[in-house]
Amino acid sequence: MDSPHGPPPDDPTSARQALVDLWMEIRPAPVRFLTARTGSAATAEDLAQDIWLRLQALPETAAAEVRQPRAFLYRLAGNLALDRSKAQRRAGARDLDWRRAHVAGDDDEAGDAPSAEDAVWARLKLERVMAAIERMPPKAAEAFRLHRIGGLSQAEVAARMGVSRSAVEKYVAASLKELLLRVGWP
């Protein structure tokens, strides 16, 4: 391998191995990124293992098309973290639906209510998030609200705002970075 950033363009047979080698070289930094994003070092390590497995299964032809390996690896990490978060939310909603369907009385539901301290903390956190959104540039704030709060896809946000999908991705990424800096995670 000539470069830690990828194989030479005329040697597609080593593209996957170059990605795996780069992953092993930079692994600590993406694991820190995943820990910050998920709030759990154990989850970050699980996701790092998933990345390694996906790289091992990546077809050579797909690996050869990667032009920015480091960015590709971070995008893969971010996508896996987002997928994990969505799966956890779906599982939580399923569990709650099951409990509601199978609990005899409303008295048992009281155990699911947050404590007074948790409710105050959540309200303060929400106020900080809303204040941070208000300080964002208008386009970034609008894209963030439509995508992350309103649940629209990036393509739908782009159409509604009259900008490219790439612009929406940049707005949302900048907004998330701003929130992370101003409010913290999660």
As a whole number, mean pLDDT of residues 87-95 equals 84
Distance CA 167, CA 174 (A): 10
As a whole number, mean pLDDT of residues 87-97 equals 84
Q: So what's the pLDDT on residue 110? A: 54
Model confidence pTM above 0.85: no
Owner of token pair 């609990």: 103
Angle between helices 41-57 and 15-26 (to 10 degrees): 170
For domain 115-186, give the fold: Arc Repressor Mutant, subunit A (1.10.10)
Report the length, in residues, of the chain.
186
- From the list 38, 108, 21, 22, the residue with the least C-alpha distance to 80 is 38
pLDDT digits 0-9 by tens, 35-57 = 998 888 998 999 999 999 999 98
Q: Which CATH code of 1.10.1740, 1.10.10, 3.30.519, 2.50.20 fits the domain covering 1-113?
A: 1.10.1740
Distance CA 185, CA 117 (A): 18
Please give the share of the chain, as a percent, with pLDDT higher than 70. Answer: 87
Integer angstrom CA distances of residue 77 from 39, 71, 114, 152, 158: 14, 10, 31, 22, 24
The model's confidence at residue 24, banded by pLDDT at 50, 70 and 90, is: very high
Provide the residue ranges of all domains of the chain, joining segments of one domain with +: 1-113, 115-186
Residue 170 CB contacts under 8 Å (≥ 6 apart), including other chains:
none
